[in-house]
Structure 1
């Protein structure tokens, strides 16, 4: 398809956001390898050469995606680290971030509810949700 003429039109997809949307779809479908690959691309594309994050919300959601993939692969420490890193940014849309964080919370709760690191992450999410 041609590049959209009016990116403000809510019925077109900005090509620069395609990887971001596809990442969410693959995470939801449990296609972790594809979701993880796209999450790394979203982080790369949203970060300037000096490390400045131009797209902090997209990058936070990409970190949640990396956390979900890590949790599903049995790596709780990495999953929690990605999840916590996603939550610390200054610019965030809390409702959107909490919605995506539920994906990680679900995996952590199902597989790691007895682990201290899992409980701490879930407690942090509950605390953040209470601030809304």
Structure 2
């Protein structure tokens, strides 16, 4: 296995399996490695150092919108990036409701991933990936969404 200089290494699935240990070492050193499906032009996967992905996702901020309905006396916290919201008598209660909604949605998302991956825009999928990396921890989710 030889890596070409000045380019991201690309391997088909068969070669990725064959050389996985070496490719993993390359990724751990900070070089992205791409695996592609030789029979489907648009199917590629990146192998990238986790700390790099963390930094990239840290630069993908949520912009929570906090609103108050005078008529219903309810606070709403919404995330347009993923089309979810929470409600409560206080902002804190609305955030807790939102976090619970996120956790419930992520469980459905994983269960129906084949469907969601085809219908959801990539931008939403990136935000959901960021939330999935919180591993269902409510405090980590609150921090990730900006609270």
TM-score, with structure 1 as normaliser: 0.27
Larger strand fraction of residues: 2
Higher relative contact order, chain-length normalized (CA < 8 Å, sep 6+): 1
In our comparison, the structure showing a higher alpha carbon Rg is: 2
Larger helix fraction of residues: 1
